[in-house]
Structure 1
């Protein structure tokens, strides 16, 4: 027998009510009574029944209309309804299910059958509620893990990625994704470049080095001794030491490129003047010209543009 529940019985026949009350009370359930469809609908906002036993023939609106109204309200949509009917035609049974019923009991009422059907649907409802709670908890856990992984991916300042034995990338930091796009632009996202595959097939860790993309990319591969397990790769980019000539492509003169180079290194105007053996006033004049040519308004914007020109990864 299921645990006690609150059952709303909607019937206007005293004899039926007496049988149902005795049977349901005997099964340990709490019983509420409404003698019409209208009174049942008025009662619902004030109680929280676990199941409704609903007679088809009622004064006023019948059981089918009552069930239809009940199911149209989001608050009661999932409330199980069992019809009580003396009708045995298939069309009426179909109409009951169409109205939203989960089951029906034919009259004359057999108390043990009513209790058995009520208990079965109460257990089913509890199982559905437990499943919904578990699904909700699982969805929240998945969302939390995805959020944590996303925070981790963006917070790590190293280029780290994890791949399986087939070369599928299962995790990568933002910097690692940037370097893979830079050095292997033709490789689809989420897949390791072909150059990594031979090392993935071996049992030991090792190093790889790739040239191009304005520099060199070194990859350290760490593997577990367990066959078919995932491996971890740490990428590191080495670029040629930038020179003032790097900034000539921006349309600067050689002297402006020299000044801009030291600006990109974080030097102040007096420091640049000493390094280039210029007056501070001349340095400021060059910096003003640089701002105009590059379309920037201040030193911070100029430095960001310099980093772009040097190929620095996004932050």
Structure 2
């Protein structure tokens, strides 16, 4: 009754993972959610839940609080500690309404709970409410990634990353040797200091920034606003030779090779240097510059470099 994980169609339906060790509960919820148009995945114990969540990354999880072996509270804590699943909303299902258990559910990372015996209509209403918020957050994160601005929230308390966009995860893994879902120590130290300074000043103005360099590329972090208690939003932007060459090429409507030539002119390279870098002759570079000048509306190498340099400066400040 569960579709293959490799073939989930997220364009038409949201994905719900139900975790419960009681078959009757699974059947009841599965039928109700399936009828409501959701794609439903199921797991009958904690280990299976962790595996399913990592593989499929569902849009929301219905999690039984009390199960044999690994209980729901531990499952939730592990999901929240993993970068790829930390953003998934978790709704606990429990027959216990004592304050102690409700507090445990929220402490473990749950956003809501429903009591047993399960009432499918109530569950559907809760899911719809939380799904809308999760969908909007996912769309916002994807939009940032699409424009090359990876985003992540960082906890000043323990250095965890409560959520991060896919691009942010890739960039952090490329520039730092730190566990997934945990901030590198040097980054955490800067954020703590910058957040403290920012709280002591009026909000507004240019966000404080910090960067690291690696093999001709630069990863810049901009500290924006708090997103919760001791949590802050960071926006990351990568700039590199490749990125800047592509930007210059598009900005001035050059060919790919012309964009490369102009970029190295900006970097102060001679025609001979550029020829060595690109594997061509100085004469060929000179000929390409003769095609570049009219496109930029300039007549000299100095003017071309100055115009392109201003564009490069703008890109690096983003």
Alignment TM-score, normalising by the size of structure 1: 0.44
Q: Which has the larger radius of gyration?
A: 1
Alignment TM-score, normalising by the size of structure 2: 0.43
